[in-house]
Structure 1
Amino acid sequence: MSNSETAAAAEIMLNETYAYGKPQVQASFKQTPTDFQVNEILGFEPEADVKGQHHWLQIEKSGVNTDHVARALAQFVDIQARNVSFSGMKDRHAVTTQWFSVELPATKLVDWNAFAEPGVRILQAVKSNRKLRRGTHKWNEFSITLRDVSNVNELLARVEKIKAGVPNYFGEQRFGYQGSNLTKAEGMFAGRRIKDRNLRSIVLSAARSYLFNQYVSTRLAQHGTALLAGDVMQLTGSHSFFVAEHIDTTVLQRVASGDIEVTGPMPGRGRSPVQGAAQEFEEALLAQFKPWLEGIERAGVDQSRRAMWLQAENLVVDSEQNVVRLRFRLTTGSFATSVLRELAQVTS
């Protein structure tokens, strides 16, 4: 991908293939922070231990990003920001709840009620002997308000369609402002060094995410929802995989029931397990990005798989005049914007 193409990455992402055709409905989003609400669900209760050195904090924030909160917590207890961890990044322009853990000496007492930061509120605090690690939480619950909807009935009709699933694209926020993370990736793969380890990780993630999106978009355009012999299937809700050498009735029934999911590539080191027709398609598509593939492998990132389709769970919708409210739940690592793009042309 050339520099000019990278600079236009944000525009390219808008043209990724739609599952149900590009929506004609238009709507406004994020007119206020409360129009986008996200609640992080761990899927378990933090293991309490009064002698633990990790303080787990459930925090509500509005108008600030996750890194800002982490730095504020570190400053409050006079530690390095690297000793504050969280499971996932949450949008700045939203009202969100998420968990942090702060590592401190076990004997140190902290009055978290004294913590004061604009737009930030601690909901609960639990001492534990375990650190909160990235990707620990199981779901994100979303409450989204779309305003100035040009055709409410048409949008509601598309809601019925997306219940079958949407492409599991990475959202444009993964790629930085105007695709800036992809520009950095191209520079890094050309030999430019990125010293900041966190930034380097973000850039590599953006590059792999972009390649995944390109795979899903191209496959959807060429093959629709059809499975290919040799597809790598994932057991839903797990990281267990197997190769479907033949697409028979059993495989189709398991996909239809939600027992298994077809996956796409997250490029990196190691041999992809994909076979047959699926392998031919995957290799042909990724060959267009050979310098990127080589750069990702040199960086020491291992290849993995990601589900190609995304299900909005517990989807509830209500409307009033030209306002539509949606509530749904997504698994960790999925993007609400991938759901919204199938419903309407949204202006934030």
Structure 2
Amino acid sequence: MTGLPEWSRAWGEPVGHARVAVRPEDFRVDERLGFAPAGEGPHLLVRVRKRRLSTARAMQALAGHWQVERRQMGHAGRKDRHALTTQWLSVPWPPGASLPPTGSIPLDQEPDARLEVIGVTRHRRKLPVGALAGNDFQLTLRDVEASADALRTRVVTIARYGVPNYFGPQRFGRDGDNLVRARRWFAGEAGPRSRNDRSMLLSAARAAAFNAILDDRVQAGDWCGAEPGEILTLDGRGSVFMAESGDLRHNRLRAAGLRVHPTGALPGSPGRSLAPPPSLAARERAVLQDWDDLVEGLVDKRLEAARRALRLSVRALAVRCLDGRTWRLSFRLMRGAYATAVLRELVEWGDD
């Protein structure tokens, strides 16, 4: 990716090469909500299935078809355009009105795209970003050039020990453009075009800084432990806590079972997040010296600092050979995690 290094891998070189997302059906993502619908209220929770559509375009099409205010709609997470995905949206809906029907939503001038409403239920409030438990993935790998034994062995390693929790390339935009634009903005040049664009540029800057910290930990081999002085997080949870010497054995057991993970800095202005001890803070500052412009920009824009797990647990991981050179990979990830973090530890890939 332009302007970005090749972040270090944890488990060695990929075991082979494959083609990924040759067609949308090869990259399936199913969103899992982090709560149950209320069954009542002035909003609808709408489960949609989309093909060759961004989340923004799907919301626009649904708003137009149902004649609702687009700005009053909500989503829990963005889903890739080049995929077959199911996700949840919220739509404002009068309490006394009957529920809209399920079925296909017409898409003018987009013959390869598809949008289908597959479920509707009432809810009390607008769906906020991040209200997810996670996502289920099913990826079809085509033209695989790898040893079957090597593939299966690497899958076992990933399932047992996890993978580095890198932000994926989509966070940085096409050819890293979001990061380039963030740097220009921080330098006083052209700023973001909208509130959503501002959020994307800030996210790209912070993701690059975090990936640099994680890369340093992967190279050092201490990206998945629970030693005293680490700030740990519970698997799939946002809460963090300090690893203490008296809990060393307990935390090591929990880390070995993928129940806790060490964290790395998401730089920004001081906030409510637990501050790292001096040794860890100094280590992260040393890594971020090469990214000073991004860190200073994030502080200047008053984005609050936070922590993110360095390790990603990969649940329900399975691989199956469909024929000699076609394999199917399925797994479950927590919210905010990227399928590319799993793929890059397995195979090199292209999408054409």
Please indicate, yes or no, whether the TM-score normalized by the shorter chain is above 0.5. Answer: yes
Please state how far the C-alpha of 1:244 moved relative to its aligned partner. 2.0
CA distance in 2 between partners of 1:92 and 1:328 (Å): 20
Counterpart amino acid of 1:236?
A: D
2:57 paired residue number: 68
CA distance in 2, matches of 1:144, 1:73: 27
Asked whether the equivalents of residues 87 and 134 of structure 1 are also in contact (C-alpha less than 8 Å), the reply is yes
Task: Please tell me whether residue 59 in structure 1 is matched to residue 48 in structure 2.
Answer: yes
In structure 2, the residue matched to 1:260 is 260
Output one character per residue of 1:146-203: Cα deviation in whole Å (capped at 9) or x when no partner: 0111123322221111111000001100100000000111011112332411100011
| Shift in Å, 1:32 | 1.5
Indicate the residue corresponding to 2:124 in structure 1: 129
- Partner residue, 1:169: 166
Alignment of 1:268-287 (within 5 A): 268-270=268-270, 273-287=275-289
Unaligned runs of 5+ in 2: 108-112
Name the aligned partner's letter for residue 151 of structure 2.
L
User: Could you tell me which residue of structure 2 aligns to residue 203 of structure 1?
Assistant: 201
Alpha-carbon shift at residue 323 of structure 1 (Å)? 1.2
Whether 1:291 aligns to 2:282 is no
Over the matched positions of the two proteins, sequence identity in percent amounts to: 34
Question: Do the aligned partners of 1:56 and 1:101 also contact (CA within 8 Å) in 2?
Answer: yes
Distance 2:168 2:236 in 1: 21
Aligned ranges 1:133-282 → 2 under 5 Å: 133-151=128-146, 152-163=148-159, 164-192=161-189, 193-225=191-223, 229-246=228-245, 248-270=248-270, 273-282=275-284
Query: How do residues 22-33 of structure 1 correspond to structure 2 at under 5 angstroms?
Result: 22-33=13-24
CA contact (8 A) 1:47 1:130 kept: no
List per-residue Cα deviations over 1:47-94 (Å, max 9, x = no partner). Answer: 111xx2212110001111111001111212334422221101111111
Instruction: Name the CA distance, whole Å, in 2 between partners of 1:138 and 1:331.
Output: 6
What residue identity is the alignment partner of 1:185? Answer: A
> What SS does the aligned partner of 1:132 have?
coil
- Which residue does the alignment assign to 1:3? none
Alignment of 1:330 onto 2:333: yes
Tell me the amino acid that sits aligned with residue 248 of structure 1. Answer: L
Q: Using the alignment, how far apart are the partners of 2:282 and 2:298 within structure 1?
A: 21
Give the drift of 1:26.
0.6
Residue 106 of structure 2 corresponds to residue 116 of structure 1: yes
Question: How far apart are 1:297 and its partner, in Å?
Answer: 1.4
Q: What residue in structure 2 maps to residue 45 of structure 1? A: 36
Check the 8 A contact 1:28/1:148 in 2, yes or no. yes
- Output the CA distance in 1 between the equivalents of 2:194 and 2:249: 50
SS of the residue 2:188 aligns to: coil
- Please give the per-residue CA displacement for 1:8-63, whole angstroms capped at 9, x wherever unaligned: 235x2xx11000112140111111211110110114321111xx221211000111
Aligned to 2:71: 82
CA distance in 2, matches of 1:251, 1:66: 39
Kept in 1: contact 2:227–2:248 (CA 8 A):
no
- Residue 20 of structure 1 corresponds to 11
Identify the match of residue 2 of structure 2 among 4, 8, 23: 8
| Structure 2 residue identity aligned to 1:161 | T
CA contact (8 A) 1:245 1:276 kept: no
In the alignment, is the contact (CA less than 8 A) between 1:228 and 1:278 conserved in 2? no
* Residue segments in structure 1 that go unaligned for 5+ positions in a row: 1-6
Tell me the amino acid that sits aligned with residue 106 of structure 2: A
Of 16-25 and 278-287, deviating more is 278-287
1:99 paired residue number: 88
Name the CA shift for 1:252/1:72 in 2 (closer, same or farther; >3 Å). same
SS at structure 1 position matched to 2:213: helix
Query: How far has the Cα of 1:250 moved from its partner?
Result: 2.9
Q: CA RMSD in A?
A: 2.0
Deviations 1:102-122 (A, max 9, x none): 124444556344743350110
Whole-angstrom distance in 2 between the partners of 1:182 and 1:161: 32
TM-score (norm 2): 0.90
Number of residue pairs matched by the alignment:
337
> Does the 8 Å CA contact 1:234/1:242 hold for their aligned counterparts?
yes
Contact 1:316 1:327 in 2 (8 A): yes
The equivalent position to 2:305 in structure 1, one of 303, 306, 317, is 303
**2:341 is aligned with 1:344:** no
Q: In structure 2, what is the Cα distance between the partners aligned to 1:34 and 1:103?
A: 31
